[in-house]
Amino acid sequence: MNPFVLHLECSACDKTHSPRQLINLCPCGKPLLVRYDLSAVQAKLPQKIQGIRPHTMWRYRELLPAGNSQAPISLGEGDTPLVDAGRLASSLGLSRLWIKDESANPTGSFKARGLSAAVTMAKALGAESLAIPSAGNAGGALAAYAARAGLQAHVFMPRNVPPANRIECEALGAEVHLVDGLITDCGRLAAQGARVNGWFDVATLKEPYRIEGKKTLGLELAEQLRWRLPDVIIYPTGGGTGLVGMWKAFDEMRQLGWIDSKKPRMVSVQAAGCAPVVRAFQQGEPRCGPWSPATTLAAGLRVPRAIGDFLILDILRHSGGTAVAVTDEEMLAEAGAMGRSQGLFVCPEGGATLAALKKLIRSGFVRPSDEVVLFNTGSGLKYLHLFEA
Ligand X SMILES: Cc1ncc(COP(=O)(O)O)c(C=O)c1O
Residues that bind ligand X (CB under 6 A): 109, 135-138, 204, 236-242, 300, 347, 349, 377-378
Q: How far apart are CA 225 and CA 337, in angstroms?
A: 25
**Nearer to ligand X among residue 125 and residue 333 (C-beta):** 333
- CA–CA gap between residue 325 and residue 197 (Å, rounded): 39
Give the Cα separation of 179 and 171 in Å (integer). Answer: 19
With a CB cutoff of 8 Å and minimum separation 6, the contacts of 329 are none
- Indicate the pairing of strand 200-201 with strand 152-158: unpaired
Distance CA 203, CA 190 (A): 8
Cβ pair 164, 382 in contact under 8 A: yes
Q: For the CB of residue 389, give the shortest distance to ligand X in the complex, in Å.
A: 22
Closest CA to 186 of 201, 197, 172, 200: 201
Contacts of 371 (CB under 8 A, 6+ apart): 95, 96, 97, 98, 230, 231, 232
- CB of residue 324 vs ligand X: minimum separation in angstroms? 14
Residue with nearest beta carbon to ligand X: 300
Q: Which is nearer to ligand X, 147 or 315 (CB)?
A: 315
Smallest separation (angstroms) from ligand X to the CB of 140 = 9
Residue with smaller CB distance to ligand X, 204 or 296: 204
Residue number, 2 or 100, with CB nearest to ligand X: 100
For the bound state, the minimum distance from the C-beta of residue 340 to ligand X, rounded and expressed in Å, comes to: 20
CB of 261 to ligand X, least distance (A): 25
Least CB distance to ligand X at residue 349 (A): 3
The neighbouring-strand residues paired with 274 are: 271
Q: Are 16 and 7 in contact (CB under 8 A)?
A: yes
Task: State the minimum distance, in angstroms, from the CB of residue 383 to ligand X.
Answer: 9
Residue 34 burial by CB count (10 A; 0-12/13-18/19+): exposed, middle or buried?
A: buried
Residue closer to ligand X, measured from CB, 62 or 220: 220
Task: State how far Cα 19 lies from the chain centre.
Answer: 22
